[in-house]
Structure 1
Amino acid sequence: MIRIIMLGAPGSGKGTQAQLLSKYFLIPFISAGEILRQEIKKNDKTKNYIQNTINKGKLVKNSFIIQLIKKKIKKKKYCNGFILDGFPRTIEQAESLKKNINIQYIIYLKIKHDSIINRIQGRLIHEPSGRTYHKIFNPPKQKNKDDITGELLHKRKDDNKKIILTRLKEYEKYTKPLIKWFRKEIKKNKIKLLEINSNKSITDINKKIIHYINNFKK
């Protein structure tokens, strides 16, 4: 069983690496952002709240996303492991997760903020699956089409410079302290933390992560 948390600022490549690791280790990945987008489509009661929060570049309430993630990971599909992308993003979320499951690996992708803006502005997404692409760094095989379904890719509404800057402020406020929290946790528990420069190529980063995890599996 492998349980991985992907940490990093918006645009650091968490989603791309989660998808690649999912294929390699044959475990599903869970995208917190995709869960919220699905919730928008199926739940009229919370649709406006989620949409307005995301469009402002803010984080949804801890209690709200914690409930959705807990419900998700209880499904049989995830009993043999998973990769979490976009959760936890706060210490409160991490503490809640810790009470329910044992996480083995934390992969922290580090990147400078000026590089993030260029990355996010070129990002494309396949909304039904959550698969992500980039016009330059990770282009689809056919222009603007998902590699698997052939369906059209879209640019997220919150992938514009103004909202990106707000999201980065939220990251500095809530997620940066979370990384320090995890560094303390690895001393208490058997959690492994890999910090990696995500300015490298997608392939190089992926190889390093796989090598790191495989070494500890032996």
Structure 2
Amino acid sequence: MKIVLLGPPGAGKGTQAEWISAEYDVPRISTGDMLRDHVARQTQLGNLARQYMNEGKLVPDDVVIQMMRERLEEEDCRDGFLLDGYPRTLYQAQALDEAGGLDLVLYLDVGDEEIVQRMSGRRICPRCGEVYHLVNDPPKVEGICDKCGFTLKVREDDKESTVRKRLEVFRLQTAPLISFYASKDILRKVESSGSIEETTANIRTVLEDLEG
């Protein structure tokens, strides 16, 4: 089964990707992991990507596409794969289509206000790295880490203004992808505003329908 998993930041893609990968025994492939692997191995593509990354620039589509083509030709992808957060652009989607196509595109559908609540409620301990959530997993003492007693902080990425900006960028980037995959009738929107377990159950229903 060849699957792409899309969704806004804070939609829970990582958690659901782990479940799909384990449940259906397909490798989970993310652009970030792939880039880091190439850079660490100092491949030709990795060295090229590192130049852009060191300058704080996005790695060009052509470089990422070539990396992905090579990755999908590896033996563990023969019976399927799960792409987490790829493609990000219409050009990448078209290249992926030319390389063999997909069975399914899952879009984790969560409203902006729910995303803002999820992400802006996160607190992290700068000393030990423990993560909390003001609503879903609060510390025992407000603002204090349970494990080490250090003062909790809000990551810059989790501030409401930052989250809203990221969502705006995501919606603009993703709209063409949604139209592209909807036109091929392989896009399935999955209600993901509930709990992790509810989202997993919704995904399971879609995948079971696909298997017939």
TM exceeding 0.5: yes
Residue in structure 2 matched with residue 178 of structure 1 by the alignment: 177
Give the structure 2 partner of residue 46 of structure 1. Answer: 49
Q: TM-score, normalised by structure 1?
A: 0.71
Deviation digits for residues 164-183 of structure 1 (CA, Å, limit 9, x no counterpart): 45533331222122101211
| Greater Rg by CA | 2
Alignment correspondent of 1:211: 205
Asked whether the equivalents of residues 119 and 134 of structure 1 are also in contact (C-alpha less than 8 Å), the reply is: no
Gaps of 5+ in 1: 125-132, 145-156
> How many Å apart are 1:21 and its aligned residue?
0.8
CA RMSD, Structure 1 to Structure 2 (Å): 3.2
Q: What is the distance in 2 between the residues matched to 1:67 and 1:123?
A: 38
Instruction: Name the % identity.
Output: 29
The whole-number CA distance in structure 1 between the counterparts of 2:112 and 2:174 is 14
The range that moved more, 14-23 or 33-42, is 33-42
2:166 aligns with: 167
Question: C-alpha distance in 2, partners of 1:117/1:51?
Answer: 30
CA contact (8 A) 1:53 1:60 kept: no
Report how many aligned residue pairs link the two structures: 186
Structure 2 length-normalised TM: 0.73
Which residue does the alignment assign to 1:150?
A: none
- Is residue 40–residue 50 contact of structure 1 (8 Å, CA) maintained in 2? no
Q: Is the 8 A contact 1:41 1:47 kept in 2?
A: no
Q: 1:48 to 1:28 in 2, by over 3 A?
A: same
Quick one: distance in 2 between partners of 1:35 and 1:211? 30
Question: Gaps (5+ residues) in structure 2?
Answer: 125-129, 138-145, 148-154
Number of the residue aligned with 2:99: 100
Secondary structure (helix, strand or coil) at the match of 1:30 reads strand
Question: Partners in 2 of 1:102 and 1:196 — Cα distance?
Answer: 21
What displacement does 1:36 show? 2.6
**Could you tell me whether the CA contact under 8 Å between 1:15 and 1:31 is conserved in 2?**
no
Code of the aligned partner of 2:109? K
Post-superposition offset of 1:23 = 1.0
Partner AA of 1:46 in structure 2: A
Does structure 1 residue 196 correspond to structure 2 residue 190?
A: yes
Tell which has more relative contact order, 1 or 2 (C-alpha 8 A, sep 6+). 1
- Is the Cα contact below 8 Å between 1:5 and 1:106 reproduced in 2? yes
1:123 Cα offset (Å): 9.0
Cα distance in 1 for partners of 2:71, 2:202 equals 29
Distance 1:112 1:39, change over 3 A: farther
Q: 1:158 to 1:105 in 2, by over 3 A?
A: farther
In 1, Cα distance between equivalents of 2:64 and 2:123:
24
SS in 2 for 1:109: strand
